[in-house]
Amino acid sequence: MEMFLSSLFSLMSPGPFLLVLIASAVGIVLGAIPGLSGGLGVALMLPVTFGMDPHLGLAMLISIWVGGVSGAMVGSILLGIPGSPSAIATCFDGYPMTKNGQAVKALGAAITASFMGTFFSILIATFLSPVIADLALKLGPWEYFSLGFCAIALVAALSRENVFKGLAAAAIGLLLSSVGFAPIDGFPRFAFGNYYLNGGFDLISLMLGLFAIKQIVTDYARGQKELPPVDMRNITGFGVSLKEYLENAVNLVRSFLIGLWIGFLPGMGAALSNMVAYAQAKSSSKHPEKFGKGCVDGVFASEISNNASVGGSLIPMVALGIPGDGTTAILLGGLMIHGIQPGPLLFTNNPDIVFTLFATAIFAAILVLLQQYFGMRLFPMILKIPYHYLYPVIIVLGFVGVYVSSSTTFNFVLLLAFAALGFLMDMVKLPTSPFILSFILGPMLELNMRKGFTYTDQGIWPFFTRPISALLLASAVLSIVWPYIKDYLRKHHGSKVNR
């Protein structure tokens, strides 16, 4: 607690304060603009942290992320176009409210719900993560391998269209993560004599290729659409009464818990939680017919749940070293680049880093609340920033970013190659989340897998005979095959009924 408070107070000195303020504002802008996101901002700013103190660098990345998740509601409410998938459900009632002349009320509800979601989820993460990390210290390499494998399988199983596409993307990530020196024996693999590949593929080039360069090519190829004008007259206050908050108390608590839990599960971040929370709010409401026509309950549900996923996804990232979603995967990569190993030992080896992370998230949530409240009038201007001013900056930051990470122009080749890979994956509808997760977790998986083999004389068997490991592997297999079993059972049951 003492360390948490000391981290929080250190953020109030002028330098860190200004950094968190600017970074969270950048996050809001990136989150608000359709097609961009806080995740993109985190990827772009990752190379900037190389020359910074790790605490400050991490504070900057976390602030962009918090601002990005919160800012995504701006486009949803004012234009009916979500800034990112985390605010899709906010469109359902937020935009009708704007059309009904209640833009301020919708924005007010979204801003306060976003704050509550981030603030309380981070508080819970601060107290829960050390407990989970303590438990995780009792796990051996078998359980760690199975945990990582289960996380990848869960993400693959969630692939929208086809579980095999998710699995294929994960397998490509695993294969690419094996390029370079192998763990334990340091044997070089798949480098084909290329000196630059001996250390494996550069993580920054992969992130910026997949998140920034590919996105720009795709958006430019599809053509940027002019966003419609926004009427924002008579903006004062939050527009939501205390009575409305109290009437939504159950809705807020339920949606918060949904967001926290979904954020905690690997691969299921804010993009899913807002939809689930919205559906639950509608089905439990006394007036479900009002949903979709401008009901503030829907905005509350969506916005508190997507922001609660922030704290939820930080718990496995910090305590177990398993990222909850794409953005936490980048953050995890950022920690590793600074020589910090996420996982249960983080609390013993770098407690200052852990508490900086939590303290910044809380501090950024407060600053985002204030910036959004006082800057509400500027929201339409954010949505008017032309893409021809945004994209060239992102391109330059992408190219310079991959160069400064290792001072080699070979990274330009990797940047373009990963952008091409991402483009191809989009084209054939292979999901990128399992790919990134496998690429980042690959070295940890391999190390624990090989340790697991060598720690006993029983070879592969402890992976299946140790209870937790067996349970995790069974969950991984079940998550992959369950849709097919369900289909079979439905058909079988259906045919019996027909007979």
Q: Which residues bind other proteins (CB under 8 A)?
A: 48, 50-52, 161-165, 167-168, 170-172, 174-175, 178, 182, 184-185, 187, 189-190, 213, 216-218, 220-224, 386-389, 391-393, 395-397, 399-400, 403-404, 407, 409, 412-413, 415-416, 419-420, 423, 426-429, 442, 445-446, 449-450, 453-454, 456-457, 459, 484
Report the residue number, 95 or 391, with the smaller CB distance to other proteins.
391
User: What's the min distance (Å) between Cβ of 264 and other proteins?
Assistant: 25
Report the residue number, 190 or 464, with the smaller CB distance to other proteins.
190
User: What's the min distance (Å) between Cβ of 482 and other proteins?
Assistant: 14
Tell me which residue of 241, 244, 264, 259 sits closest to 301, measured CA to CA. Answer: 259
Q: How far is CA 301 from the centre of its chain?
A: 19
User: What's the min distance (Å) between Cβ of 187 and other proteins?
Assistant: 4
User: What's the min distance (Å) between Cβ of 390 and other proteins?
Assistant: 9
Report the residue number, 57 or 321, with the smaller CB distance to other proteins.
57
Report the residue number, 33 or 167, with the smaller CB distance to other proteins.
167
User: What's the min distance (Å) between Cβ of 218 and other proteins?
Assistant: 8
Report the residue number, 249 or 413, with the smaller CB distance to other proteins.
413
Decide: 269 and 219 in contact? Cβ < 8 Å.
Answer: no
Report the residue number, 82 or 442, with the smaller CB distance to other proteins.
442
Report the residue number, 161 or 231, with the smaller CB distance to other proteins.
161
Report the residue number, 131 or 481, with the smaller CB distance to other proteins.
481
User: What's the min distance (Å) between Cβ of 162 and other proteins?
Assistant: 6
Report the residue number, 280 or 406, with the smaller CB distance to other proteins.
406
User: What's the min distance (Å) between Cβ of 453 and other proteins?
Assistant: 5
User: What's the min distance (Å) between Cβ of 194 and other proteins?
Assistant: 14
User: What's the min distance (Å) between Cβ of 197 and other proteins?
Assistant: 14
User: What's the min distance (Å) between Cβ of 147 and other proteins?
Assistant: 16
Report the residue number, 9 or 484, with the smaller CB distance to other proteins.
484
Report the 3 state secondary structure along the chain.
CHHHHHHHHHCCCHHHHHHHHHHHHHHHHHHHCCCCCHHHHHHHHCHHHHHCCHHHHHHHHHHHHHHHHHHCHHHHHHCCCCCCHHHHHHHHHHHHHHHCCCHHHHHHHHHHHHHHHHHHHHHHHHHHHHHHHHHHCCCCHHHHHHHHHHHHHHHHHCCCCCHHHHHHHHHHHHHHHCCEECCCCCCEECCCCCHHHCCCCCHHHHHHHHHHHHHHHHHHHHCCCCCCCCCCCCCCCCCCCHHHHHHCHHHHHHHHHHHHHHHHCCCCCHHHHHHHHHHHHHHHCCCHHHCCCCCHHHHHHHHHHHHHHHHHHHHHHHHHCCCCCHHHHHHHHHHHHCCCCCCCCHHHHCHHHHHHHHHHHHHHHHHHHHHHHHCHHHHHHHCCCCHHHHHHHHHHHHHHHHHHHHCCCHHHHHHHHHHHHHHHHHHCCCCHHHHHHHHHHHHHHHHHHHHHHHHCCCCCCHHHHCHHHHHHHHHHHHHHHHHHHHHHHHHHHHHHHHC
